[in-house]
Every structure is written in structure tokens, then in C-alpha cells.
Structure 1
Amino acid sequence: MTIAMSRRALLGAATLLATPAIARAQAAPRTLRVGNQRGGLRSLLEVSGLARDLPYRIEWSEFPAAQPLLEALNANAVDLGSMGDLNFFSVYSSGAPIKAIAATRSDGASQNIVVRGDSPIRSVADLRGKRIAAARGGWTHYSLLAILHKAGIPFSDVRFAWLLPAEAALAFRTGEVDAWSVWEPYTSLEVLNFNARVLADARGLTPSASVLAVHNDALTQRREQLLDFVRRNARGWAWAQGNRDEYARFTAQIIRQPVPVIQRAYEVSQTRAVPIDDALVREFQTAVDQAQAWGVVPQRVTVAEAVDQSFSRDLGA
């Protein structure tokens, strides 16, 4: 015998069946997938105590550098990550579905050209005809060109060796390259442990900024968690300004570097959270336009379309 159920009864049964699943989903904290570079976001939040009492779960993924992190972000394998401004804009310009929602700024002295202590090179002008190591497509690619440009040296007058830090450090110490365009804490390691000299830095030549970048899906689906993370990140950098030695000791243990190296790097960098406001957007646009003209960024970028300024407004910036 067939038993017919009313529409109301069917809806009621479906609601009863669905209720436990809905309740579990609402009760369970959402997960935020965060890409971390060693000694980066994770160490800052943990040492400052801001990784405690989260209203959501963080699923950390570790990356050795910005480029593989950006590849994971582009593929929607992570929701969020931090990287240098030009690394971000380079990948964004290729059509990646990502946006920058927050920023930090370091002193331009954290981007350097270094030479060995016994090098005869004494000025940027002495770099003519010399071989310089740098990582292609990011901060120190741009800052190297900016330093050369300021000194009136045509780029064709030097030889570039495009090397990642581990390869560049070996080439630099063994004399295979004459100079190295590098950033902190690598500069401090070379200065304190290998008697290198800072030849020039990028003060006044680059925004010296990093961004928190998110996949567009996370932007629409996890805004509440992202806003909380941005707030904690800003508070973490404020904490670091007043607790630099503790932060340095914690990070040095994680990345297995001498504490004095990290202390010097943090003192030079003076990293702090800054809003993505109209002034920073204009500064980014100037730098990105120049970077695109020099071939550091492959395509032109309209910075205002690559960033979401609403997070800065929500933070009261």
C-alpha cells in the first residue's frame, strides 16, 4: 500500500533531518588557510599571543619563498598569504584572482646592495662591468635598478645574475659575483657573519612594502575571518615594535639564525602595519609603472583594482 505524505509533512521531515547538520556547521569554527613563509606571519602571531582564542581555525601551510606561495594562492590552495608588493603585483598582472587587503612597510634601508669586505668596489659607480646577483621580479630586482638609475648607470653596463638567496649567497661568498642585491635578514647575516659591506640602500626609491593578499573566493566567503586576521596582524606588528628583542629571539630559533642577525635585521627594517589608503595606492602605482617600464612587472597594473581598501576603512584607518 502506498502512503502519501503531505507537502507540509515532507518539509517538516526534511527540516528535522537537516537541523543537526546545520547546527554542526554553525557551531564549528570556519577554517582560514594561511600561507606562511618561514619566520613570517605565524611566528609574529604566536610570539605576540595573538594566535590564541581565535574564533576560527587556522590551517597553516609553509612556503620557502613568495613565488610558490603566490602560486598556491592563485590555485586557491590557500586563502591568504604575505609577500612583497612587487611579487604580488607581478602575479596579479598575469590575471591571478587575488587582491591585497592589508600592508606593512619596512624602511628602505632593508633593501641593499652588498659587497665583500675586501672588495675594491667603493661606490655604485664602481659597479660598471661587474656581476651582480639578485632575485628576479621582486623587491631587490626593482631596488637594484632604482639604485643604478639614480647613479646614472645604464643597466647594460652591469651583468645580472638572477639567483635565489641560497644560490646567491654561495656565489657572493666565493667571488662568483661581485655584489648582491638583497634584503633583510640576509643583509645582516652577510654583514655580521661574513664581513660584507653595505654599498647602497633603497631609501626613498621604493615603497618597501609587503601585502596580505587573498584569493577572491576567500574575499567573498570568509570576510569576517579575514578582517579578524588583519586586525591581529596589525596588533602583532605594533607589539613587535615594543618587543623587538623577544620577537627576534623567537624568530631566530624558528629559522635557525643567530639572534644578533635577526635583531639587527629588525632594527634596520622597522616593519609596521600601514593602511592601504589613497596615498599608498598612488605610491604603489608610481612604483609599479616604473617597474613595468623596466621589465620587473610583466603587464601594466591599475593598483586601485588590485587592492581592497575596505579592510583599512573597517579598521578605522
Structure 2
Amino acid sequence: MIWGRRAVWMFLALLVALSGGSRTARAQDELIVADQKGQQKAIMAASGADRNIPYHIHWVEFEAAAPLLQALGAGAVDTGIAGDGPFMFAWGAGLPIKAAYVIPPKAGGKATAIVVPEGSSIVSPAQLSGRRVATGRGSIGHLLLLRLLATGAIPAPAPKISFLLPVQAKAALDTGRVDAWATWEPYVSLEVVTGHGHIIADAAGLMPNNSFFVANNDALVKKRELLGDFYRRIAQAYTWGIQHPTDYARILAQQTGIPFNVATVVAEKLIASPVAVTPEVIQAEQTVLDTYRAAGLLTTTEPLAGAFEPHFAAP
């Protein structure tokens, strides 16, 4: 399985080293934080939660959760954020990672959706039968497709899935090489708001739709104090973002280059307060693991509780 290949892990570690983390990647006074589309760095900066930090944060940018989680498993980064689908996929494939905090779904699952381009005649998930759909392998978009298949919302024959990273998936959608794209924010809003596409299904009611702050097992032991401080600060930043969504959207647009109107939608859908993992959260995630198992994508028999770090207090 591709997730377990040591060569991939070493390659990702090398990429992080080349990005500037090689000199201090093992330093105990530095936390290497993986981000997606600059969203965590933006909210830390906008809220002021990144001020007077008694250690150095080295940010590393990733296009999607899959390579981010591979880097976590390789020990190239210490912590990062990922949706429950890719997290469970990575943990189930044997990566040495655990979820420390959960971010409940503010938008009830609408941050994950299947989009089609402007002018498409597809208006319902049933019309995806036999069509070409792009998504990331093990991503929350992939999980949404699997759930729609499991519930019968997409009848046989199943869609022909092209596993692509977001930039590749966007290009494939724009050029007609695929008919639809199962993706997540900010890509959903980029396609709908700026590309004039439309949503034909979202994840509301189909899966837990949690996101997690994930750490590798080594960092949980050796950098526990730093992780605790970072999670406390990011929780403060999210609380600020709930109270100041327009200010957060402005900073997000500046730091990531996405249009302000898209950043505004993203802020509305994604900003919720991180909380400690509870038994109820773990129980809900069983659905995700079972979905991957039923699809033949995971064979792990490890107890699900082993995917979570229960000993961090509420941030």
C-alpha cells in the first residue's frame, strides 16, 4: 500500500528539509506545523495568537491532507490539521500518528461537496453513475463518494474515479477530462463562486465531518509541552475567528491569494472551536473506518481508540 512505503516517507522528509527545516527539524524549541492553503497560519496571524511564542514555529504548506499526513508519519512535521476521512485512512494504513483535538463541523458537512463545472447538465448524485469523477485517494472527497455509493444515492455502475491532487483535479474539471470533482473547502467555493460551477451533493448527514489536529507519535512524547501551547493558541485564534469572520477572511485572502469573497465563505463554513476528543467523537468515527474497510481500502484490525490521544485537556 502506498501509505506504508518507507521511500515515500523519506522523500517527504527530504522535501521539508529542503524547504528550510533541515537545520532545526529535531530541535526541541521548534514546532514544525503542517498547513493547508495557509489557513492555520492566517488565523494565528489575524488573531494575534502568534505573538510572544517562546519557541519557533516553522510552517510547511501542503496542497492536501494526504501528503500532509504522509509527512507527519515520516516525522518530517510535528502536527497539522486534516479531515477525518484522510486521517482515518492514514492511521488505518499504519502511520504513527494520533488525533489530539477535534474541530466539529460548523457547516454541518457542507464544506465537503461534489461540484460540477458551469453549464454541466448534472444536477444530482444519481447522474454520476458511470461518469468520471476526480478526488484525492483517501480524502474527505473520496469518503463522500464512498458514502453516496453505500447509501445508493449513486446507483451502479459506480463512477470512474481519477485520484488527483486539487490542482490536477481542477485542471481536469476545467478541460472536461472529468465530469465532477469531490472536494473540500476552499476548493468548493473557488469552483462555485469564481468558476460558476454548482454543487450536486454535500456531506451533510452522511459522515461525521470532523477535522482533527493530528500529531506524530514522536512529537507527542518529545514536544508535548510545545504541542499543548500551540493547541491552546490555535483554539484562542479560532475563538477570535468566530467573533471576527470578516477580519479573518481578509487576512486569509491576503496570505493565500484566494479572492476575498471566497475567503468569506470559507470562514463561514470552517471556523469552529477545537475541543478535546471524547468517546462520542471516537464512536462517530467508526463509520469512517467501516466505510474504508467495506470498500476494501483498509484492512486494519487495530482498535479505533488507538487513533486518538485522549490525554490533552480541553484547549
Shorter-chain TM band:
0.7 to 0.9
User: Structure 1 64/125 Cα, relative in aligned 2: closer, same or farther at 3 Å?
Assistant: closer
The secondary structure found in structure 2 opposite 1:236 is helix
Distance (Å, rounded) in 2 between the aligned partners of 1:53 and 1:250: 20
The equivalent of 1:33 in structure 2 is 32
CA distance in 2, matches of 1:125, 1:93: 30
Q: What CA distance in whole angstroms lies between the structure 2 residues aligned with 1:257 and 1:283?
A: 33
Corresponding residue for residue 181 of structure 1: 182
Structure with higher Rg: it is: 1
Q: Which runs of 5+ in 1 are unaligned?
A: 1-27
Q: Distance in 1 between matches of 2:233 and 2:314?
A: 11
TM-score, length-scaled by structure 1: 0.84
User: 2:151 maps to what in 1?
Assistant: 150
1:1-317 residue pairs with structure 2 within 5 A? 30-106=29-105, 107=107, 108-154=109-155, 156-297=157-298, 299-311=300-312, 314-315=313-314
Count how many residue pairs are aligned between Structure 1 and Structure 2: 287
Q: CA deviation at 1:167?
A: 1.3
SS across alignment from 1:47: helix
- Displacement after TM superposition at 1:297 (Å): 4.1
What per-residue deviation string (whole Å, max 9, x for no partner) do you get for residues 96-126 of structure 1?
Answer: 2221111212330111111223222222222
Mapped to 2, the partners of 1:212 and 1:128 lie a distance apart of 35
Could you list the runs of 5+ residues in structure 2 that have no partner in the other structure? 1-26
Counterpart of 1:6 in structure 2 is none
2:35, 2:126 → 1: CA distance? 38
Does the aligned pair in 2 maintain the 1:192–1:261 contact within 8 Å?
yes
Distance verdict in 2 for CA 1:265–1:194, change over 3 Å: same
Aligned mates of 2:301, 2:166 — CA distance in 1: 27
Letter in 2 for 1:286: T
Structure 1 match to 2:4: none
Cα distance change, pair 82–127 in 1 and its aligned pair in 2 (3 A): same
Work out whether residues 116 and 173 of structure 1, in 8 Å CA contact, stay in contact via their aligned partners in 2: yes
User: Is residue 89–residue 301 contact of structure 1 (8 Å, CA) maintained in 2?
Assistant: no
1:298 shift after superposition: 5.2
Cα distance, 1:246 vs structure 2:
1.0
**Is the Cα contact below 8 Å between 2:66 and 2:139 reproduced in 1?**
no
Question: Conserved in 2, the CA contact under 8 Å of 1:142 and 1:296?
Answer: no
Q: Give the SS at the match of 1:189.
A: helix
2:100–2:214 contact (8 Å) kept in structure 1? yes
Cα pair 1:136 1:296 within 8 Å, conserved: no
Q: Which whole-Å deviations, capped at 9, do the CAs of 1:142-174 have from their partners, x for residues lacking one?
A: 112212333443454322122211111112122
**Would you say the 8 A contact 1:35–1:80 is kept in 2?**
yes
Report the secondary structure of 2:274's partner residue: strand
Residues 56-100 of structure 1: per-residue CA shift (max 9 Å, x gap) = 222323333323322222222222222222222222223222211
TM-aligned CA deviation for residue 250 of structure 1: 0.7
SS of the equivalent of 1:266 reads: helix
Contact 1:289 1:300 in 2 (8 A): no
- Per mean C-alpha deviation after superposition, the further-off stretch among 80-89 and 267-276 is 267-276
Q: How far has the Cα of 1:309 moved from its partner?
A: 1.2
Does the residue aligned with 2:154 lie in a helix, a strand or coil? coil
Rounded to whole Å, the distance in 2 between the matches of 1:286 and 1:236 is 30
Q: Is the 8 A contact 1:137 1:297 kept in 2?
A: no
Work out the CA distance in 2 between the residues paired with 1:152 and 1:250: 38
Say which SS state the counterpart of residue 272 (structure 1) adopts: coil
Seen in structure 2, the aligned counterparts of structure 1 residues 94 and 129 have a Cα distance that, compared at 3 Å, is closer
Opposite residue 221 of structure 2, the aligned amino acid is T
Shift of 1:300: 4.2
SS of 1:205's equivalent in the other structure is coil
For residue 265 of structure 1, report the CA deviation from its aligned partner.
2.2
8 A Cα contact 1:93 1:298, kept in partner: yes
Q: Is the contact made by 1:285 and 1:302 (CA closer than 8 Å) also made in structure 2?
A: no
- Contact 1:124–1:151 under 8 Å retained in 2: no
8 A Cα contact 1:141 1:296, kept in partner: no
Superposition deviation, residue 39 in structure 1: 1.4
Q: 1: CA distance between counterparts of 2:229 and 2:249? A: 25
**C-alpha root-mean-square deviation of aligned residues, in Å?**
2.1
